[in-house]
Amino acid sequence: MIGFYDYTVWLTYLSMLSGTAGIMLCLNGIGHPYIGMFFLMFSGLCDAFDGKVARTKKNRTETMKKFGIQIDSLADLICFGVLPACIGIAMMRSSISYETLMEFRFLKLVKKPTVVVVILTVIAVFYVLAALIRLAYFNVTEEERQETEGGVRKTYVGLPVTSSALIFPTILILHIFLSVDLTFLYFLFLIIIGFLFISEIQVRKPKTKDIILMIIIGLIEAAILVFVLVFLKRK
């Protein structure tokens, strides 16, 4: 078989499987955005360690290294590009109402619910495109950097797509405590984060202590979502 299947790519494959499962569960008839968020955060957890695990193997060939970079970006596109967009669509289907959207003044000119759905869908598609561009740009620049500098990079250009694993769950948690429909806010963040993906801002590469802090935050968010899912199930 083509490809590589040793332990250096297991977490990346697991992250991709988690993201794909989240997409399918969000888009099927019983899909709910909370379920998709669990898979998004789990993919983020896998991504936090896949690079460190891969670098523990000292005798990796150049082909294995390049394969790792490519497969990691492809998995990231699924998990942190397509999945957050699908969660937004699930929110639109499960919790949004046309009357709620009409409370926003600039949407009062819209006469048909279909137009609103199209607008939100275009936003979701833009977010996926921005994630795709960000990942493709990273692959090209990372390969050039490896040839000239080597080692591990210290900063990123543009917001890393993996940041979505912490940002979007926060919006759903706000929804829990505020008891208001935040679907519109979620799509607003899709626009903002999409632009940050393709911006030229410099983002410092997280250190070990930063990764640990993000994992703790993610676990807290996951615990809150578990509580909500159990509550909703009983209700």
Q: What is the pLDDT of residue 98?
A: 45
Cα separation, 40 vs 84, whole angstroms = 7
Here the CATH number for the domain that contains residue 149 is: 1.20.120
CB environment 57-91: b (16+ within 10 A), e (fewer): eeebeeebbebbbebbbebbbbbbbbbbbbbbbbb
DSSP strand E in the chain: where? 155-157, 202-204
What average pLDDT is seen over the chain?
Answer: 81
Taking residue 198's Cβ as centre, other Cβ atoms within 10 Å add up to 16
Enclosing domain of residue 98: 7-234
Shortest CA distance to 196 belongs to which of 167, 221, 153? Answer: 167
How many structural domains comprise the chain? 1
Q: 67-115 pLDDT, tens per residue? A: 888 899 999 999 999 999 999 888 887 765 444 554 544 455 455 566 7
Shortest CA distance to 121 belongs to which of 113, 109, 111? Answer: 113
Q: What is the pLDDT of residue 106?
A: 47
Q: Is there a domain that residue 72 lies in?
A: yes
Instruction: Tokens 């697991």: give the residue.
Output: 14
Q: Is there a domain that residue 2 lies in?
A: no
pTM value is 0.84
Q: Is there a domain that residue 61 lies in?
A: yes
